[in-house]
Structure 1
Amino acid sequence: MVEDNEIYRFMSIYEFYELFFNKKLKLTKVNIQSDKNDGIESILNNLVSGISPTEYFSLKKSFDSSRKCRYITCWTQSFDSIAMWLLYSKNEESIRVKTRLSKLKETLLNFTEDYSCWTQWNRPTENMVLIQGMESIQEVEYKNIREVIEQIRRDISEFKKKNSQTFEIDPNYYKGKFIEDYFTFYDYLSNKYTCKAPIKDESYSFEQEVRGEVYAGLKVDEKSENDWKSKNDVERIPVKDDLSDILGSVIYAPVNDDFIEEVCFDPRMPAYKREVIFALFNLEQIKITESPIFEPALPLLSE
């Protein structure tokens, strides 16, 4: 992705109010997204690394836990799309905002720096912290998720079956070649299935999503950085464990004044509503674009 690329987000009037007036970009916790597979790439990556257990309930617990500390803001590379208007403007009152990839990147970098878990002791009244280095902006990859899971399950099952058969032939297998075979297999599995970007089911491919993401946690109990360091390993990240339920559903990242480059009203919005919004928000200083996507094309022949 080129940093100067234009990206778009369809948002409600309420979200636009926060962005336009309060200069705050909403990020939503993954576990409240309508897509219940959002965030599954982290679990698949653990699974194919050979670290996580394959039992369903262990994976389910890990999946649910990871979704409670990840916050995302979803944008699209598609300039205009009937599918996006229909999905994200069901009341025909949403607004499409344009910014640039570089501005979103700057916003998330500044946000994680300002709320870093490593400087939490400088903010005694705030409970939430962010993990620096975990923020990212990536293009979403679209796959048949159920098919991928079935392929992984089948490969692991076949590997276990082969191990069992080899052991029956050679009882000393586990004392000799098993470790080498184990790592060879999981290297193969990792190279084949590791997700280097967020993934969604291919049925969402029309979104052409660009996803910004940050990782959040709760500040630790120690009253100073020195207290925390004296009780913990130096490589441990200073956030509380297993308290992600307390984190709010949304958080807001401050944006610069020039973050919004242009806006577009839902083309189905009645003129009187548009006029009210235009007046209330004082949008004279913002470029307004029009979407002809719901208009008939035939009249163009008479021009």
Structure 2
Amino acid sequence: FCALKEIGIPRGSIDQSFFDAGGSSLNALLLVAKLHRTGFNNLTVERLISAKTLRDILLHRTENERSRGLFFESNNEYHVLPLEQVSKDEALRIITKSFIEKGEIDVLVHRQCRELKDECQNEWYTLLDRRWPHYIKNGLSFGVVMNDGQLVGISLSNNIEDEAHIDLATIPRLAPLLHMIEKGENKILEQFRSSNSNIQKIMHSFLTAVNPDVESNRRVSIMHFLERHVLEIGSTNEFQAILTANAGSVTQQIAEYVLNYDYHLVLRANEYCDSSGTRVFSHALEQHTIDIGIKLLI
């Protein structure tokens, strides 16, 4: 009951379904993560969402069952492909459409203007198209497909010491957003390295994107799968830490509460100033934030 209360679901909702009680895809993830820590080891997001009532979940608690993970069923549906086996055109379509249509920060740039949306989408495409060979070469990036072959997720990462430079002058619409993120990443890296001088090899998770055509309930589990596999790749390739910038509420919650990133720096978009001192995103709301995070892998 405490876990339900923490995510804003009243105790009196116990005989309702999760969504009828006010739940969402995002707090489904948070609730399952909290319940795992109290012994509900057989509960997954899919089970929570599909249960007729919350009481059914509580009555079927299995104290001694081995932990099966947050998305046990879904993990059998998702498969990782090296980036060279992924259709570049489909991947770039997913990334650009996801950011423009679903991005919680990108909206600050295009402000729902169709013309600006098209410009931003073209700039994302141009930027990633140029860097694509680099992402393939470094072997740290991948796609996620379902059993039917549908591409549902993309992750692009680099060794931070071997990262291709972004010429912001070629992407004027996106430049303020990417500059804000770059400043934040440089700041947290400086702070991190001052107290972790032994950490030299850092992987930069540049972006993850979920196919926007996938139903919303499944998007959370795909994003979790992507983020978790990023950590696996980092460990496999003997990186000591991972740096990432999360601009969406779902990825921010996954990083903080599920994957337990060790260091965080929260950037408020309405506080960002460009080189001339102008608050470019003064129209941003308080919830428009970017969470720069670092997770130790050693």
Alignment TM class, shorter chain as reference: under 0.3
TM-score, structure 1 length as denominator?
0.24
Question: Higher relative CO (CA 8 A, sep ≥ 6), structure 1 or 2?
Answer: 1
